Copies of this chain bind each other. A is one copy, B any other.
Amino acid sequence: VKERRTRQLEAIYEAVRTAVDHPSADEVYARVRQQLPSVSLGTVYRNLQKLSAQGRVRVLHLKERVARYDALVHEHDHFVCERCDAVADVARPAGQPTECPALAQSGYAVHAQTLTFYGVCPRCQRAAPLSERRDNAGLTGVERVAP
């Protein structure tokens, strides 16, 4: 049971590592195809799972159906824009407790926590400050906050 270092695995990891926008599996697939045109979507999924099991990428289940992938595996949180669906990394707030006293007291063992903020990113506030909700076409930019 020895793991092999294949071209595909490395290309997929590189695609996630160099991405700044928390790509979905489909987006990773599109990017890897530019370097390795014969790669298949199934292989992308299989390797993303492997990388996740190895702790080299983090899987994010935000409010959408699709899983997004993040190569920043240290403790940090996320902001999701409700208008353009962009995802930004957020340094964990200083006061944020690592444990939840109520849970610990009730016998729950906590291994991890995820904190996600939802709202409107600066770009979308500028783009459509008055309208109720805008289509996200062309507004897929991402910024990184205090990494």
Contact = CB atoms under 8 A, between A and B. Distances in A.
Interface of A: 59, 61-65, 77, 79, 82, 88, 90-91, 93, 95-97, 100-103, 106-122, 125, 143, 145-146
Q: How many copies does the complex hold?
A: 2
Contacts of A93: 97, 100-102
A111 B118 contact: yes
Contacts of A119: 103, 108-112
Contacts of A109: 119-120, 125
- Of all A-B residue pairs in the complex, the 8 with the closest CB atoms, nearest first, are A107-B122, A110-B119, A111-B119, A112-B118, A109-B119, A109-B120, A102-B146, A110-B117
A96 B97 CA distance: 8
B118 A102 contact: no
Nearest to A77: B100
Contacts of A90: 100, 102-103
